[in-house]
Amino acid sequence: MPETTTRTPYSTELPPVRPGLRAYLWAAFGVAGAMACAFLLHRFVPHANLSLVFLTGVLIIAAKWGLGPSLFAGVASFLAFNFFFTTPFYTFAVNHDGDVATLLLFLITAALTGQLAARMHDEIAKKQAGIRRITALYGFAKRMTAAPDANSVLKELIRHLYHFLESPVAVLLPDTEGKLKVSGGWPSLDGIPLPLDRLEAAWKVDASPPGCRGLSFLTLGTARGPVGLVAVQREPLTSEEEDQARALCDQAAIAIERTGLVTDLEEARLISETEQLRSALLSSVSHDLRTPLSSIIGSSSTLLEYSSKIAAGDQRDLLNNILGEAERLNRYIQNLLDMTRLGHGGLELRRDWVSVEDIVAAALKRMEGALAGFRVALAVDSDLPLLHVHGAFVEQALVNILDNAIRFSPENGPITIAASVAGEKLHIDMFDDGPGIPEAEREMVFDMFYSVTGSDRHPRGTGLGLAICRGLIGAHGGEVEAMPGADGHGTLMRITLPLAHTDES
């Protein structure tokens, strides 16, 4: 018990119920004190009253040391009083009958008050012990409620029981296969020799422990049934001890059940979140794949079935439609693949020196079809330094924010791409003239599936594009932010890439 000596809620600090030699010495000392007082006083007070001085001494001793010392003090005081203060002095003989009566009364009073004081003393001691026990139990209960998991509950229970019963304690819990195992013990994990096989058998039958020499068992049980056994290396326990220990076990069992519920709840929450993510992914994927497919199937079936009725220009439009939508489908699939790679950390950067103009041009080329019908403007500084990045990834990030800009722009709206150096960093800005993003949502648009949670209001929203964009740029140590556009109109999407990488290589 080395490290727990500071907390001994049940160790007996009560005054000794059977007083030792010390108490009698104190009693003798008290009588001597009373005698000294009597000598000082006997010139001023009638000598019969001196007995009161001795009586006071007896009372004090009785209150302090209990019955035995008080009787001892009573007899000693009686003898001292008789010897020194009754005629004839310095003998135990007594001349006056009155003195005899005084002495007898004195003895009786000493015995009675001594007993009363001793009883009161015992009561107080008991009450104090009770209060200490309740305080300890309260502390235990508090720690039980605060215990974050079953393990700390058990640890607390074992330590508490150990100090209460002053005997080695062990807790046995069934493992996942229902086999009883020692899950904790004090002062040591395997300090108690346990007949595990017999316990096991008894546990399987009705969860009640068998009788074992030198061991007592308590069941850890909740409303739902027994959850484990507590073994104490002492036999038998007094009924009071057993009741107390049972109360502790019950409390611990409830706490274990509670921690179990907390864990269950946490797990349920995780599962439901995963479920939500999965269903969002499914609905996003099905939406994003089917929308372009609808145009492809619709346009091609129109061509197949009604081509004779359709003008040449319209036929060409339909073919362009099919091509553009097939490209869109391809982008979505690329996004899905990127997302999977981002999710699995399988993104490997193959950095190389590329110019910003090349990346912007490549992204615009890929989006050529989708950008038709928008006014695209470029404001790329001519003397930009080369970037040391994985070109395809930055291009994909640009494509994704372009796709986003197209989706929210009015028809024939302006889309501006600008690139500039700001200190150690490079900004690639994309302005659109869409409805803009409310401030509260500027961070959320980068969350996966943000645009599809709730409803598919944003009809072409992948819910992935911006999340992937941020992932791709983040892999380069850069960042993507959404800001209000120029004059507060539309949206500015800013990709920031560090130029510091140039020094590294």
Tell me the closest approach of the beta carbon of residue 363 to other proteins, in angstroms.
Answer: 21
> How many CB atoms are located within 10 Å of the residue 106 CB?
20
Q: Is 276 in the site for other proteins (CB under 8 A)?
A: no
193 near 170, Cβ under 8 Å?
no
Query: Residue 256 and residue 34: Cα distance in Å, rounded?
Result: 61
Q: Which helix (H) or strand (E) holds 221?
A: strand 216-222
Amino acid at 335: N
Binding residue (CB under 8 A) for other proteins from 155, 287, 489, 494 = 287
Q: Is 409 in the site for other proteins (CB under 8 A)?
A: no
The smaller minimum CB distance to other proteins, of residues 115 and 300, is found at 300
Under rule CB under 8 A, which residues in 426-485 are in contact with other proteins? 455-460
Query: Residue 358 and residue 336: Cα distance in Å, rounded?
Result: 25
Tell me the closest approach of the beta carbon of residue 400 to other proteins, in angstroms.
Answer: 19
The token duo for 158 is 């074992």
Tell me the closest approach of the beta carbon of residue 337 to other proteins, in angstroms.
Answer: 21
Query: Residue 165 and residue 245: Cα distance in Å, rounded?
Result: 8
Binding residue (CB under 8 A) for other proteins from 228, 324, 463, 490 = 324
Tell me the closest approach of the beta carbon of residue 322 to other proteins, in angstroms.
Answer: 9
Tell me the closest approach of the beta carbon of residue 494 to other proteins, in angstroms.
Answer: 24
Which residue in 273, 272, 281, 275 sits closest to 451, CA to CA? 281
The token duo for 254 is 């409830």
Q: Is 501 in the site for other proteins (CB under 8 A)?
A: no
Binding residue (CB under 8 A) for other proteins from 152, 302, 453, 496 = 302
Tell me the closest approach of the beta carbon of residue 466 to other proteins, in angstroms.
Answer: 17
The smaller minimum CB distance to other proteins, of residues 6 and 455, is found at 455
Binding residue (CB under 8 A) for other proteins from 12, 135, 274, 286 = 286
Binding residue (CB under 8 A) for other proteins from 11, 301, 340, 502 = 301
Residues touching other proteins, count (CB under 8 A)? 31
Under rule CB under 8 A, which residues in 304-323 are in contact with other proteins? 305-306, 309-310, 314, 317-318, 321
The stretch near other proteins (CB under 8 A) out of 18-26, 302-310, 424-432, 494-502 is 302-310
487 near 315, Cβ under 8 Å?
no
Residue with tokens 């150690």: 424
For residue 271, the Cα-to-chain-centroid distance in whole angstroms is 19
Backbone angles phi, psi at 375, to 5 degrees: -95, 105
DSSP calls for 344-380? TT------EEE-HHHHHHHHHHHTHHHHTTSEEEEEE
Tell me the closest approach of the beta carbon of residue 173 to other proteins, in angstroms.
Answer: 46
Query: Residue 85 and residue 413: Cα distance in Å, rounded?
Result: 124
Which residue in 191, 229, 231 sits closest to 212, CA to CA? 231
The smaller minimum CB distance to other proteins, of residues 206 and 411, is found at 411
User: Where along the sequence are the contacts to other proteins (CB under 8 A)?
Assistant: 283, 286-287, 290-299, 301-302, 305-306, 309-310, 314, 317-318, 321, 324-325, 455-460
